Amino acid sequence: MGKQFFGTDGIRGRTNQGTMTAATAMRVGQAAGTHFLRGAHRHRVVIGKDTRLSGYMLENAMVAGFTSVGMDVVLLGPMPTPAVALLTRELRADVGVMISASHNPYEDNGIKLFGPDGFKLSDADELAIEAMLAQDLPLAPSAEIGRARRVDDANGRYIHAVKAALPSSVRLDGLKIAVDCANGAAYQVAPAAFWELGAEIVSIGVSPNGRNINERCGSTHVDLLQETVVSCGADIGIALDGDADRLIVVDEKGRTVDGDQIMALTGSQLAARGELRGGGVVATVMSNLGLERFLNGQGLSLERTAVGDRHVLERMREGGFNVGGEQSGHMILLDHATTGDGTVAALQVLAALVQSGKRASELLHLFDPVPQLLRNVRFAGGRPLEEDSVRAAIADAQASLDGRGRLVIRPSGTEPVIRVMAEGDDAGEVEAAVASICHAVEKAAA
């Protein structure tokens, strides 16, 4: 049976519409709490959130749900997703919750769940919780209703943890860093962590008002950061998204450095020190062919997975890898975190900058990406990818790129859209391949 509520990264949707309501949030709290009521100890859940207006509503609803089944609640307030994962383990909690819709606009929100080990839940756990959402769950007796309290030092705990990801000998003295926190969950902790390590900080996207999260700022809108880096003479720019599990970098010239380049740097540096596990890096099918060629040239592999940091993490754990991520900026460094952590990844980049003595523009562009083109084709219904005409167009396009590029054709998991991506050494061939497939899909779906 497929999942009705949980998607590739928890439950997500427009607030006060569909499933993303206070009523659903309370039911998820009751179901997840019931699922994790294991053993005779006093049970505990850790709840963090980003800065969306709807976070107050969903947080209170989840507190009601968890406490009603007898679970104590620890409230962290606005904190990055990786901080929730970390503190779930540190506080010996049974489950962790992050209320966030990541890089989406403020009107959306979501619920991400972590197990007691700090990793996102398995499919089996999510299916079990979903099954409970339709059931009448037993409530705790009056004397056993849970309590809720806030942890005042959550920021300090997380800052200490991310700083520990660097050798004690590394300081950021002399670096001028522009930091864009997307008016999101890291608006306090990320600038503080960099400042405590000695850097001069220019902060933007640190004035959340409930509605401006990810609004023309953060890792999905880097124009403001690019302008800020150049205008203030910063050595580097750091862009996080709304829940701070993504990282995009801007060099001192204002050029963007995506997740592929960051993986190339981190993977090759760890390999040079004998600290890279798994013999390579794990990324998704969307990572550029240039990254694969660069890693192969270093004697390293690139393992590809389906789109989504969850799939990357699963492969990393299966194969014993410690570096993985996505072109979009999710960076998973398992030596330091159990999920994507933009601040931890940024510190690895900053440490490399200090230790190399190079400018960011010299250090962070390790390979030339091959031309890559992605287009979305919307369709009204049916299964256009199963049509013979579409299959023929895909086969012809693949043949035209044979040995010089590749195709990735996939349906969206959240909307009636076919995503058509091609990349290769010849931009004209890439454009022609994408155009022919898109035309075939549009015709088949008409």
Beta-bridge mates of residue 96: 46, 114
With beta carbons less than 8 A apart as the criterion, state whether 60 and 67 touch: no
With beta carbons less than 8 A apart as the criterion, state whether 313 and 324 touch: yes
Beta-bridge mates of residue 149: 74
Q: Chain-centre distance of CA 60, in angstroms?
A: 25
Higher pLDDT pick, 123 / 53: 53
Instruction: State the DSSP code for 246.
Output: B
Whether 102 is catalytic: yes
Instruction: Report the C-alpha gap between 163 and 173 in whole angstroms.
Output: 14
pLDDT at residue number 197: 96
Instruction: Report the C-alpha gap between 286 and 214 in whole angstroms.
Output: 23
pLDDT at residue number 414: 65
Q: Which of 68, 102, 219, 268 is catalytic?
A: 102
pLDDT at residue number 9: 81
Give Cβ neighbours of residue 317 (< 8 Å, ≥ 6 apart): 334
The kind and range of the H/E element at 399 are: helix 388-401
Express each pLDDT in 181-240 by its tens digit.
999 999 999 999 999 999 999 999 999 999 999 999 999 999 999 999 999 999 999 999
pLDDT at residue number 113: 97
Is the per-residue pLDDT at 326 higher than 70? Answer: yes
Instruction: Report the C-alpha gap between 303 and 319 in whole angstroms.
Output: 10
Instruction: Report the C-alpha gap between 319 and 315 in whole angstroms.
Output: 6
Is the per-residue pLDDT at 435 higher than 90? Answer: yes
Express each pLDDT in 349-399 by its tens digit.
999 999 999 999 999 999 999 999 999 999 887 889 999 999 999 999 999
What structural domains does the chain harbor? 11-152 (3.40.120.10), 158-363 (3.40.120.10), 372-445 (3.30.310.50)
Confidence of residue 412 (pLDDT cuts 50, 70, 90): confident
Is the per-residue pLDDT at 1 higher than 60? Answer: no
Express each pLDDT in 329-360 by its tens digit.
999 999 999 999 999 999 999 999 999 999 99
